[in-house]
C-alpha cells in the first residue's frame, strides 16, 4: 500500500464532533419496503477533509450520501449540510454540493465542453468551463463525444460536472471503479488537488488502497450501521493485535518447534512458505529458536497490520465482496 499520503491534513478531525462540521448526520434511517438500507448512521464531515465511506456491497453507503445530497428522503434521523436540511432547502443545497454518482451517464453524442456548459447554465455563479477543462486535463478532448472518451476521461468529466457549480462539498461515489491502475492513481492525484483547492470531499470507495491513501477519516458501514469511524492510522492501530512473519526453510520442519514458543499463536504453511503469527516478541523468538536448532530461514518478511486487516476484523464476512480486502 502507498505510504506517501497527503500532508495537508485538516486539524481536529479525528473525533466525530459536530463543532464546525459542514455535514452532520445523526441516526439516519432509510428503508425501501421491507428492506432496511440504512439502519442507524451518524457521522460528521469537517471543512477541508477527505472523508471516506467504506463498506461491503449493500451496506448502505450510496443511500447515505444520496441522503446527504438531498436525493433521498430519510425515514428517520436528521441530516444537516451547513445547518440546512437537504430536502427542505433543496435550492440552497444544490449550490453547496457537487455530486458524482456511481451510475452517472451522459448522452453518447454530447461533447465534453457541451456537457460542462449545459451544467453551468443550472447555477447562478458557475465555474468557467474552459478553466475546469484545463484543470482536469480535458482540453484536448473537449470536442470529443462522450461515447468516445476513455474510462479515465469520463471519470474526469464527471468530476468536472460535480465541480461546475463551485460547491463547498463534492460527493464522489465509487470514483475509480473500472479504471486501469494508472488512470486510478492519476484520479487520486486529481482528488488531492481538488481538496487542496478548498473543496471538502466525501469519498465512497470499494478500494482499500484508495481509502488509505486519500482519506483523512473513514467511516466503515456494515448492514446500515457505522461500525467504526477513525483516521486510517487509528483504524489500523485498533486492529493491531498480532504480528505476522513469513519465511522459507530447506528440508523437513516440525511445527511444534515454534508452536511451543510463548510468542507464537499460529503456524501454517502456504505453498512453500511458513507463516507464523504472534505477539510483539514474535520475530526475535522465532529467529532465535530456529538458529539454536541450526535452521536458517531465508526470504523472511514481516507483515504489518493494514487497513485490510482492520476492515476484515470489523466486517469479517465481507472480504470476498470488497476490493483489496481478500486473503
pLDDT digits (tens, 9 = 90+) for 168-209: 999 999 888 877 888 888 889 989 999 999 999 999 988 888
pTM confidence score? 0.78
Per the prediction, the chain carries an average pLDDT of 87
The Cα 181–Cα 185 span in angstroms is 6
CA distance 321 to 56: 6
pLDDT, residue 144, reads 96
pLDDT category of residue 103 using cuts at 50, 70 and 90: low
Residue 104's pLDDT is 65
What is the C-alpha separation between 127 and 103, in angstroms, rounded?
Answer: 24
pLDDT for res 145? 95
SS (H, E, C) 240-264: CCCEEEEEECCCCCCCHHHHCCCCE
3-state DSSP helix/strand/coil percent for the chain, to nearest 5? 35, 25, 40
Amino acid at each position: 500500500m502507498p505510504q506517501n499520503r497527503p500532508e495537508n491534513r485538516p486539524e481536529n478531525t479525528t473525533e466525530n464532533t459536530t463543532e464546525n462540521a459542514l455535514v452532520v448526520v445523526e441516526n439516519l434511517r432509510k428503508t425501501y419496503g421491507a428492506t432496511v438500507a440504512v439502519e442507524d448512521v451518524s457521522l460528521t464531515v469537517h471543512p477541508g477533509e477527505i472523508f471516506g465511506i467504506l463498506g461491503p456491497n449493500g451496506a448502505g453507503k450510496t443511500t447515505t450520501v444520496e441522503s446527504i445530497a438531498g436525493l433521498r428522503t430519510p425515514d428517520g434521523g436528521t441530516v444537516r449540510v451547513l445547518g440546512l436540511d437537504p430536502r427542505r432547502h433543496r435550492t440552497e443545497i444544490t449550490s453547496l454540493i457537487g455530486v458524482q454518482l456511481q451510475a452517472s451517464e451522459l448522452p453518447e453524442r454530447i461533447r465534453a465542453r457541451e456537457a460542462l456548459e449545459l451544467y453551468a447554465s443550472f447555477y447562478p455563479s458557475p465555474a468557467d468551463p474552459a478553466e475546469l477543462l484545463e484543470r482536469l486535463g480535458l482540453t484536448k478532448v473537449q470536442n470529443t463525444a462522450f461515447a468516445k472518451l476513455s474510462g479515465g476521461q469520463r471519470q474526469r468529466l464527471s468530476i468536472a460536472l460535480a465541480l461546475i457549480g463551485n460547491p463547498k462539498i463534492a460527493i464522489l461515489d465509487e470514483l475509480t471503479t473500472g479504471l486501469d491502475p494508472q488512470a486510478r492513481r492519476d484520479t487520486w492525484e486529481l482528488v488531492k488537488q481538488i481538496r487542496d483547492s478548498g473543496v471538502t470531499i466525501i469519498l465512497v470507495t470499494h478500494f482499500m488502497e484508495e481509502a488509505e491513501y486519500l482519506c483523512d477519516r473513514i467511516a466503515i458501514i456494515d448492514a446500515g450501521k457505522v461500525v467504526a469511524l477513525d483516521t486510517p492510522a487509528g483504524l489500523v492501530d485498533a486492529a493491531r493485535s498480532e504480528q505476522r512473519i513469513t519465511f522459507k526453510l530447506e528440508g523437513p520442519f516440525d511445527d511444534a518447534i515454534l508452536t511451543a514458543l510463548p510468542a507464537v499463536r499460529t503456524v501454517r504453511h502456504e505453498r512453500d512458505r511458513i507463516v507464523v503469527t504472534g505477539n510483539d516478541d514474535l520475530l526475535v523468538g522465532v529467529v532465535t529458536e530456529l538458529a539454536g536448532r541450526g535452521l536458517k530461514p531465508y526470504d523472511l518478511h514481516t507483515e504489518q497490520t493494514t487497513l485490510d486487516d482492520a476492515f476484515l476484523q470489523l466486517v469479517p464476512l465481507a472480504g470476498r465482496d470488497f476490493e483489496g480486502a481478500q486473503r
